Structure 1
């Protein structure tokens, strides 16, 4: 995820940044999209996404702290579900609940089956809900009732970040399909807080996410990771505690408005097409944190729902100009409504099948 706040200084001093969305490193090389090797498979679970898209595995584990399940799903033409906060537990609570585990698959049925395995009560966890009383696979067999309230968000939550026409078209295609199935499009807008509020609180928490990682020789870390580590160390405990409280307050405001206005919200998964491999490095020789700034458009729609903890899924509903790169659409539901999210996703999969699409043969 790359929500970034910047100071007015030209250097990286005073800049709050988060982890990136590219699967590239000096040590291990560049991961590439099977759809177009000149483009990134996204990140941070880009390798998992590329493997599933290429047919190396039917599904793969992924983690999402700001979009790292949904972004690779969009880049690789896959289904990527970020579950509700706490539904799938980790060894520890990841970045104050912003992060969660999930999976990347080709079909909604595979996602439901995987979630049936992963969504289990963990009595040793810091927090963990009861195991769901019914399976998500069974939910797919229940006919979806018409009349859902469908909202849309197509303008970037962060002013100054444009939205590629293909990403906006993915939303339009989805809305037309849902409307034709008898669901109601509503004009209510999600009252998002000012971008600087959300970004500042999010990045303060996310920058500390690497605090449990110890290195024998920190000087050997790649430059942008070393810069992230330095930025994290500059955050004092009072600022961190404020950010914890602020993200919880923002989450409550957004979720309360969501519950009052929508059953589902449709947005682009990303504001851009999958960037070309290496594009994130522009300017990074002078300022290592520019690597994160450059990946900013990939996460502007996904990260807000890490703050709210709501379930959100990216579906491969569209391709740029028909045969170009995959373009995902994000659908968001109320907390704990993975069943509804999967039912709607399955209905879209039936109406606009994607499983039969094949990678281009070179």
Structure 2
């Protein structure tokens, strides 16, 4: 089998009895054993459980009958989500490795879809950094060049998929944590709309969402279908799509108005290679019949942007599930202490301002443009270790690398808008560079139609990191 095959293709091969779940599991487990010491994508492994689950899946195939969509296909879970019987250390020295007793809804949906849970992937402490780097697990490295970071916070997930250690990987996104590592690793990163994938806890003032990192648009759509099965126990959910998201892949798209934004909303400089990625995507979209034009959208005020970072996220850290908070990363301990300087009224006011301004930001979609095109990051993938070093050196200061990484992505989390990072470009030194499409409220369908139309001309599905073939 080809370890770089899509999850959809592997599931088809299982149903057609071309491949067995045991073959698939063994291939990935052997590759993890061989390649992961170099990149550090996995922080916990359950190889024997995976093999047992694969044998059970194989017996189900041989018995005949209906099979779920991804029967017998492995998927790793990011180390910030709960799975009964597995540890969840949140990438932190401050959390012990006691097995958890509950399972998060998104993981239940993977299991219902027939996936085999295969290990846990690296993340920074509490997912609060733009690179998968921590004192507990060390530095996760980019398979395209191990001197560089795969980004974060879902950096282990992206490194695993890029290196062919998994066909797809679970991820989540509170400020760009699906899209940033997808850009760094040459992958497709779809951030769903707020409420699309059921969550019992809508963290970070409802900004964090569950999702996946994939190599193909088809996988991104198919995983969104299985992840977004409604749950009557959650507080709210996104409107049902017109049709399954998988049916948007390859579906002809009517011409849309694409606003092109090349200047970072935060005012930080944007590297020319990142500008080139967005411009290339714009030209490809024009060649497909869409109107692409420069825009200067309204985003959040400086007060609310700073308030989200320092009031909302600091408070979220103060309530994080640490067993020993004194062992958290120094930059996070700084933020937990800073949270104590703000009272509940300040938090409530900031939460209200974010909601009020978000209405005005979202209103631009459908009025001024249909889709917004930007670079995914304002910088190429940073050197491995740079983000944690920057945060540790000056916990309360301005962090240029971190700000360049989140400048184009965080607005989608605060507004709840869907967005997708596509691996359309490569830097002169061979590093992947992504561009981002941001859709209107609840409009993943348009993003998937556009992304699937771009996939062939951009030709990203055949690219593989050297040395990991």
TM-score of the pair, normalised by structure 1: 0.89
* CA shift for structure 1 position 88: 0.7
Runs of 4+ in 1 over 6 A off after TM superposition: none
Higher relative contact order (CA 8 A, sep 6+): 1
In the other structure, the counterpart of 1:309 is 416
Task: List alignment gaps of at least 5 residues for structure 2.
Answer: 1-126
101-110 vs 250-259, which deviates more? 250-259
Task: List alignment gaps of at least 5 residues for structure 1.
Answer: 1-17
Higher alpha-carbon Rg:
2
Mapping 1:285-296, distance limit 5 Å: 286-290=393-397, 294-296=401-403
| Secondary structure class of the residue paired with 1:259 | coil
In the other structure, the counterpart of 2:181 is 72
Residue 458 of structure 2, aligned match among 348, 352, 357: 352
In the other structure, the counterpart of 1:256 is 363
| Secondary structure class of the residue paired with 1:260 | coil
**1:138-187 CA deviation, whole Å, 9 max, x = no partner?**
11142122x2101011001112x100111000011001111111111234
In the other structure, the counterpart of 1:330 is 436
Answer whether contact 2:390 2:399 (CA < 8 A) is retained: no
Residue 114 of structure 1, aligned match among 212, 217, 223: 223
CA distance in 1, matches of 2:242, 2:264: 37
* CA shift for structure 1 position 288: 3.3
Residue 168 of structure 2, aligned match among 59, 67, 76: 59
Residue 339 of structure 1, aligned match among 439, 445, 453: 445
Question: Across the two proteins, how many residue pairs are aligned to each other?
Answer: 342
* CA shift for structure 1 position 130: 5.1
CA distance in 1, matches of 2:170, 2:277: 25
Are the structure 2 counterparts of residues 212 and 219 from structure 1 closer, same or farther at C-alpha, using a change threshold of 3 Å?
Answer: closer
Aligned CA-pair RMSD: 1.9
1:24 aligns with 2:170: no
Answer whether contact 2:162 2:464 (CA < 8 A) is retained: no
| Secondary structure class of the residue paired with 1:151 | strand
In the other structure, the counterpart of 1:158 is 266
Mapping 1:233-248, distance limit 5 Å: 233-248=340-355
CA distance in 2, matches of 1:268, 1:293: 17
* CA shift for structure 1 position 229: 1.7
| Secondary structure class of the residue paired with 1:150 | strand
CA distance in 1, matches of 2:437, 2:222: 19
Answer whether contact 2:261 2:373 (CA < 8 A) is retained: yes
Residue 200 of structure 1, aligned match among 307, 317, 320: 307
**1:18-56 CA deviation, whole Å, 9 max, x = no partner?**
921111112211100001101111111101110011111
* CA shift for structure 1 position 216: 3.7
CA distance in 2, matches of 1:96, 1:281: 24
CA distance in 2, matches of 1:214, 1:361: 39
In the other structure, the counterpart of 1:224 is 331
Are the structure 2 counterparts of residues 38 and 286 from structure 1 closer, same or farther at C-alpha, using a change threshold of 3 Å?
Answer: closer
Are the structure 2 counterparts of residues 301 and 171 from structure 1 closer, same or farther at C-alpha, using a change threshold of 3 Å?
Answer: same
276-285 vs 331-340, which deviates more? 276-285
| Secondary structure class of the residue paired with 1:247 | helix
Residue 182 of structure 1, aligned match among 282, 286, 289: 289
Answer whether contact 2:238 2:442 (CA < 8 A) is retained: no
* CA shift for structure 1 position 282: 4.4
178-187 vs 225-234, which deviates more? 225-234
TM-score of the pair, normalised by structure 2: 0.70
* CA shift for structure 1 position 290: 5.0
In the other structure, the counterpart of 1:124 is 233
Answer whether contact 1:283 1:291 (CA < 8 A) is retained: no
* CA shift for structure 1 position 289: 4.2
CA distance in 2, matches of 1:249, 1:284: 31
Answer whether contact 1:41 1:49 (CA < 8 A) is retained: yes
1:81 aligns with 2:187: no
CA distance in 1, matches of 2:382, 2:397: 15
250-259 vs 279-288, which deviates more? 279-288
